[in-house]
Amino acid sequence: MVRDRPLTGGGSTNRRVHPTHPCVKVMQGGGDMDAIKTGSFIGELRREQGFTQQQLAEQLLVSDKAVSRWETGRGFPDIDNLENLARVLGTSVAELLHGERIAEPLVADEADTLVTDGLAWAKRLLRQQTLRAIMLGFLAGLVIVTLVAVHLTSPYAMTYSEGLIRVDELDDGQLIARSREDVAGITVERGADPDAPSRAWVFVSCYQTLWNRLCGTRGVSIALLGHVGQIDRIYYYPGTGEDRLLFPTGASFDGGMMTLPRLVYNYWIILGAALSAAGLAAYLLLRKKRFAERILKAALLPVCLTVSILAVLAGRYGQIYDAAFYLSGILLMTIALYALFLVAYGHAKAAKHLKGDLTMP
């Protein structure tokens, strides 16, 4: 438990514990287990034994950087190393945890409490690391599942070809669009005729999905478009290129129409990339300031958004016609990526400040 107050137990001192340094409360007369005090004691014993930090590290099979962190109180020996460390330095685990020589033998209950408290602290650290690892795995899995689900179910527009779709007029004057069998569905959008607001322009598209292709689902799709007296023109809205006139049959109009909702995410990608670059540049310039961590977290949000858009729309930048369909996938992907970053960052930060490195030299 982190405490910001003068140490107690084993003599008084005016030193205060830095908020990032662990201090575990002993419940029954053992004093406070202070990483700074213990680290100073480790350094004192090492010098008494005539060891350098490198020599001590070699005996314990850890890095000299780990020993340095122990001695400065920025880390604490792993529970597996406590006994070996006590043996090499010619002391006991209880004295290491106490941070000083024990002039008089501790009462058995006090010694047991001190050791038990140290073990409980180490177990708590291990449990926190395990929970973070589980969260990392869950969030990474969520990112993968989101990508797979979006790419399996997301529609992509089929470029117009002869026989793909036709418009028929029924006996009652209703117009219907009928597709080929390999089409997953038909989308219909309406807009007012600029020359005759009472009449409509209708835009139809045939779309396919990867799930539909893999499952081999086949069937004619039919869409009701409206009464012939209310519709001026019907266009096929392709995945790329100009819209193609389907109704009235045989009519000729100059040129075609370019409808561009597929480009809506292009602007978001540009905006996200610009914000990402600005945020990361600010972090690099101010990384030594106290608020650098906040800048980094803020900068990573547009980075996650940009990566999500690129990942969700991968391979379909020229085919997107229903931008709203992808919004839920992009938002879920962004949230999962950002949460994954926060958990990974917290995991690395906790490992750096609360535990000694156990890497081989």
Q: Which of 141-145, 215-219, 235-239, 300-304 has the lowest mean pLDDT?
A: 215-219
Predicted local distance difference test score (pLDDT) of residue 18: 38
What per-residue confidence (pLDDT) applies to 266?
Answer: 73
Among 49-58, 246-255, 315-324, top mean pLDDT goes to 49-58
CB 52 within 8 A of CB 139: no
Q: What pLDDT does residue 175 have?
A: 93
**Which residue is listed with tokens 């750096």?**
352
What are the backbone dihedrals phi and psi of residue 236, each rounded to the nearest 5 degrees, phi first?
Answer: -90, 125
Report, as an integer, the average pLDDT of 131-160: 83
pLDDT digits (tens, 9 = 90+) for 20-64: 334 433 333 344 457 788 888 888 888 888 889 888 888 888 888
Quickly list DSSP for 40-99. HHHHHHHHHHT--HHHHHHHHTS-HHHHHHHHHTSS---HHHHHHHHHHHTS-HHHHHHT
Instruction: Quote the percentage of the chain above a pLDDT of 70.
Output: 72
Residue 259: per-residue pLDDT:
44
Tens-digit pLDDT profile for residues 166-191: 899 898 999 999 988 778 888 888 88
Distances (CA, A) of 295 to 200, 202, 209, 290, 334: 51, 48, 40, 10, 18
Cα 352 from Cα 330, distance rounded (Å): 33
pLDDT in tens, 339-360: 888 888 887 777 666 544 444 3
Predicted pLDDT of residue 9: 37
| Assigned token pair, 119 | 């073990």
- Given a cut of 90, whether residue 125 has pLDDT beyond it is no
Query: Dihedral angle at the C-alpha atoms of 142, 147, 153, 154, nearest 10 degrees?
Result: 130
Helix/strand/coil percentages in the chain, nearest 5: 50, 15, 35
Q: Residue 37: its pLDDT value, please?
A: 81
SS (H, E, C) 230-246: HEEEEEECCCCCCCEEE
Lowest mean pLDDT among 180-184, 192-196, 254-258, 342-346: 254-258
**3 state DSSP class of 133:** helix
Comparing 124 with 114, the larger pLDDT belongs to 124
Q: How far from 231 is each of 165, 177, 248, 326, CA to CA, in Å?
A: 18, 13, 9, 30
Q: pLDDT band at 228, cuts 50/70/90?
A: confident
Predicted local confidence at residue 319, as pLDDT: 56
Q: Is-contact 58 67, C-beta < 8 A?
A: no
Cα separation of 223 and 202, whole Å?
Answer: 12
More confident residue, 270 or 28: 270
What's the N-to-C CA distance of the chain in angstroms? 30
pLDDT on residue 105: 54
Confidence (pLDDT) at 39:
82
What integer pLDDT is reported at residue 99 of this predicted model? Answer: 79
pLDDT tens for each residue of 148-168? 888 788 777 788 888 889 899
317 CB-contact burial (10 Å; exposed 0-12 / middle 13-18 / buried 19+): middle
Whole-angstrom CA distances from 95 to 10, 81, 127, 211 are: 11, 14, 25, 65
Q: Which residue has the higher pLDDT, 81 or 106?
A: 81
Question: pTM of this prediction?
Answer: 0.49
